[in-house]
Amino acid sequence: MNHPVILITGALTGIGRATALAFAREGARVVVSGRREEEGHALAAELRNLGAEAEFVRADVRYETDVRHVVEQTVQRFGRLDVAVNNAGTEGQLAPIVEQSAANYEEIFSVNVLGTLLSVKHEMRVMLEQGSGSIINLSSIAGQIGMAGASVYVASKHAVEGITKSAALEGAAAGVRVNAVAPGPVATNMLDRFVGGSDENKAGLLATVPARRAAAPEEIAETILFLASDKARYLTGQSIAVDGGYTAQ
């Protein structure tokens, strides 16, 4: 694919940022999106310094007007949309299920589930019209297994996997692929929050990973680039666990 057009939500930190940099190094045209204007414009400038055409468009994926706007701006700027990476997400408050609240559910599901649904909706519209495209949703191993103390987050990522499979079935005949990447522990700020900022908790978690370490964000980005490429042209409706062997146990 010649200089594909890439849209990444939740692009300002962690996996999203690593993915934006990876696509830029491959010569893609990249639109990065997130809620923080200053960081977004700085990232776009960094991508341009790598030789890529890049733009920042502010969007909060909880709101359909924002999602529609970022997709429209991408198409207006570059004429098409080849790859969409839906990375915006939150872990919310981690607690036993008997302590979970409706407010925490609303916070997590509005970003992880509604945000993914709205993103796929508007990205798919463009790609169906083109007759091509690859959508990659960010799930988690929590979308494939259960985790004590994280019931609402786990439920949200199971929902992301369901949206992924259903959208894949709707897009397959038209040449639009929809897949998910399901990372295990990744060395990001979210992992630090997940373990409560405790080095001891983090070490305990990583000891349960067969590879005995967290992934680097760049390692997740490499899988996303593969799913976006023509090398994965017969791959759709799948969730690929990139987890150092965790879910093989």
What's the pLDDT at 189?
84
What's the pLDDT at 186?
95
Give the least confident one: 75-79, 99-103, 128-132, 193-197.
Answer: 193-197
Give the least confident one: 36-45, 81-90, 194-203, 225-234.
Answer: 194-203
Q: Which residue has better confidence, 89 or 197?
A: 89
> Is 153 an annotated catalytic residue?
yes
Confidence class for position 81, pLDDT limits 50, 70, 90: very high
Catalytic residue among 63, 153, 234, 246: 153
* 57-66 mean pLDDT: 98
The sign of the torsion formed by the CA atoms of 192, 195, 197, 202 equals negative
Confidence class for position 192, pLDDT limits 50, 70, 90: confident
What's the pLDDT at 193?
86
For 205-217, write each residue's pLDDT tens digit: 899 999 999 999 9
Give the least confident one: 6-20, 187-201, 217-231.
Answer: 187-201
- The percentage of the chain sitting over the pLDDT mark of 70, rounded to a whole number, equals 100
Contact 83, 7 (CB under 8 A): yes
Confidence class for position 176, pLDDT limits 50, 70, 90: very high
User: Is pLDDT above 80 for 1?
Assistant: no
CATH of 5-184+217-242 among 3.40.50.80, 3.30.70.20, 3.40.640.10, 3.40.50.720:
3.40.50.720
What residue has token string 């990583």?
206
